Structure 1
Amino acid sequence: MQLLLAPMEGLLDFVLRDVLTRVGGMDRCVSEFIRITDRLLPDHVFHRYIPELRNGCRTLSGVPVRPQLLGSDPQALAQNAARLAELGPFGVDLNFGCPAKVVNRHGGGASLLREPDRIGRVVEAVRRAVPAQMVVSTKMRLGYDDDSLAIDCAQAMQAGGSSELVVHARTKADGYRPPAYWERIPAIRAALNIPVIANGEIWTVQDALRCRRESGCDDLMLGRGIVADPGLALAIRSVDADEGVGGAVEWKDLGPHIIRFWQMVCADLEPAQRAGRLKQWLNLLRRRFAEAECAFAHVRAMRNQRDITAWLKTQHGPFEVAEPSQKEVDWQMTH
């Protein structure tokens, strides 16, 4: 069984990739998408999204990261994939599933699921542009408004050269509303000769077991579920190994990881993002941990980095964190 960490823009960036792979249980990560338009991106843009490229394209705990590209122009995607390939990634992933309106309005993400032929041209162009030994994989939803073209799209990806497909078992129209329609994945699997990985609405071990049973997929991709419960992958593996429900991470175990997260946020993200990122994670952790409810309530109204740091120290003991510059302090005091 392979367990993959999903790409989720605005949530699963390099900071959470580092923290969640330290907890353990993940085999590979896929980065949040890098949007490709009509220009060749410089190396520093790829490094900004995937700083792991400077570490052999692995998180600091050693888990491989596969960069994901999003766009609709075959030539532009091919050129950027070739540039990215020079930086030594673990393959290239292509996004055909993002439901965001701004992305779809410009012909990217899930909007391409209405054009299987165009999908095939995109995948083929990227496959030809990168070295033969480099994996090209794809991620899709079941469709745009419905799943009538799901098999056509999946077959176009395989024909274009995709060697692996993740299926998020909802349409663009479904957004992130439950349920995920895992039972619609077997028809896609039956039409392909490449591995298919199931994704969508896996919050618990029970969800994972039911997803595997209904989809027929051995491998799973975890997104919001593992952000809400960082021990989810370990718990799934314990059940898979007939060890019973184990491997779960308790709140007391999360303390060092929350501190690590805050240290990275303060060191690497802009002042405007820092408080919000911690609140975003705590908000999701409330689904699994009662203690996160209390933590979220305490920091919810905080905007100042020093105030948040001081409160975290009362909960988790002393730790070092990058001090904000005077300019950053002034910004935090006025926003």
Structure 2
Amino acid sequence: MTDAKTAFEIRLRQSAAETGALLSSLLSDTPLSDETTRPAHLMAAMRHGSLNGGKRLRPFLVRESAALLGGPADAALRVGVALECLHCYSLIHDDLPAMDDDDLRRGQPTVHKAFDEATAILAGDSLLTYAFDIIAAPETMLADRLKTELVLALARAAGPGGMAGGQALDLAAEKSPPDEAGITILQAMKTGALLRFACEAGAIIAGSEPEHRERLRLFGQKIGLAFQLADDLLDLTSDAATMGKATGKDAGRGKGTLVALHGITWAEGRLDVLTKEAIELLAPYGEKASILQETARFIASREN
């Protein structure tokens, strides 16, 4: 009998492959209706910034959250790909010299290094816009009301009160390190908001009752905090070869993190608490929630 960890690993790999395949198809050079043409150089940059491997964790969370509540799998796949487009846009822009100034992403040159800064900005802009196109398109077989809810929730998670605002706070932290409350807010916005949306989206896709949406949203918040805490630990303890990007940069820039404030032992204990809380939130769903519960464990213990 396959245990929960093995089942999770198999599902994660399958989901990543399926997400990558659909994303590759959607990022072809062939224009859609009402598009004039797709510049080859721009499309190549978009593919470079998004078809470069990765665990595709956010789409996986969308799909598994929807499956938990009986949502349509095809729609969940497309919404997951839309979220991945938006996530990849954020990485392309974060890597720019004006922001985090990184040369490597997932072990390969960042988009502005492989192409140029202007193309990287446009590739990010295009992926951001395309995310909402994918959700709204007729190929995403959902009621218009559910599409509207998804678009609104994603916009709130990604905009000035979510991920983009968190990046602004992160840049400001280089000049004036925030206190513990400020760090928590920053991380909940920059990293946690999209993970929260990924889980909440499954409930929206399934047309679930508000109580299910709120429970999945809380689960997403818990694993979002855990994800960033694990990331900060890896930034201190891992190396560039393992991570596929530069490490130790937060400390080098004087940015405050919860790990820097409280130490590695505290962070490991906090990770354990967050993981247990996330798992307990899904206990009412019984065995059906085992994959999502295993995802919480994976997030806390990942190595890159």
Q: Do the two structures share a fold, i.e. TM-score over 0.5? A: no
TM bin, normalised by shorter chain, reads under 0.3
TM-score (norm 2): 0.27
Structure with the higher helix share, 1 or 2: 2
Q: Which structure ranks higher in relative contact order (CA pairs < 8 Å, sequence separation ≥ 6)?
A: 2
Rg larger for: 1
